């Protein structure tokens, strides 16, 4: 195994949501991963589910890594929209831990639902009690494995809670087919908006 493959395998292992996302993907599905990074998730899905994998990535270095790994990846900014993709042209469109970093959240989610029959979205839950406690106790913006940046260098522009996203889906007539909440890679069922660090949603249009 080369260095690139090792790095991709390590990235996939460190991402708690990857294995759970895979459970929501049917074999041989046509999958589009927005903000696909180095292609770690798509590489994993090709091996485990034989998916037809496509990616979108803005960063030059990650785009090149994904290309070198054999991923069909387009270099573009998500903020420009998905007009180049036909309606319902993918079985699943994924936005994994990128939602909080986009400016036009509503339009991007709606475009995903136009392009994909199903949509998978994951994001850090800013309502998590540790983040609240850290902010209240120290007076500083929280920093963690899920939110690893300092306030001055973070790409995150729209931090939301699970309750915020649930309400967004209701107002936008988006059907929540499944929702999973994780903390330290373990599922959370009690008070998820308070006790959950990472939220995962499987969505479709109403």
pLDDT digits (tens, 9 = 90+) for 50-102: 999 999 999 999 999 999 999 999 999 988 889 999 999 999 999 998 888 88
Cα–Cα dist 110/115, whole Å? 9
| pLDDT tens digits for range 109-118 | 999 999 999 9
Q: Which of 26-30, 139-143, 184-188 has the lowest mean pLDDT?
A: 139-143
Is the pLDDT confidence value at 4 over 60? no
Is the pLDDT confidence value at 203 over 60? yes
39 in the Ramachandran plot: left (φ > 0), alpha (ψ -120 to 50) or beta?
left
Domains and CATH numbers, the chain: 3-125+156-205 (3.40.50.150)
Q: Which of the two residues, 154 and 46, has the higher pLDDT score? A: 46
Q: How many CB atoms lie within 10 A of CB 187?
A: 12
Evaluate whether 94 touches 83 at the Cβ level (below 8 Å): no
Question: The whole model's pTM is what?
Answer: 0.85
């Amino acid at each position: 195994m080369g260095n690139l493959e090792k790095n991709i395998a390590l990235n996939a292992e460190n991402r708690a949501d990857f294995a759970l996302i895979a459970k929501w993907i049917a074999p041989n599905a046509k999958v589009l991963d927005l903000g696909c990074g180095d292609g770690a998730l798509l590489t994993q899905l090709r091996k485990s589910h034989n998916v037809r994998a496509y990616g979108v990535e803005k960063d030059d270095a990650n785009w090149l890594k994904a290309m070198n790994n054999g991923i069909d990846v387009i270099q573009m900014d998500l903020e420009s929209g998905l007009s180049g993709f036909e309606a319902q042209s993918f079985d699943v469109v994924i936005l994994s831990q990128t939602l909080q970093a986009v400016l036009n959240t509503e339009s991007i989610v709606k475009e995903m639902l136009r392009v994909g029959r199903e949509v998978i979205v994951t994001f850090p839950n800013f309502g998590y009690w540790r983040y609240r406690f850290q902010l209240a106790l120290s007076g500083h913006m929280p920093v963690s494995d899920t939110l690893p940046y300092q306030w001055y260098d973070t790409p995150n522009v729209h931090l939301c809670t699970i309750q915020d996203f649930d309400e967004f889906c209701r107002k936008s007539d988006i059907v929540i087919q499944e929702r999973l909440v994780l903390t330290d890679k373990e599922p959370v069922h009690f008070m998820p908006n308070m006790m959950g660090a990472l939220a995962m949603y499987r969505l479709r249009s109403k």
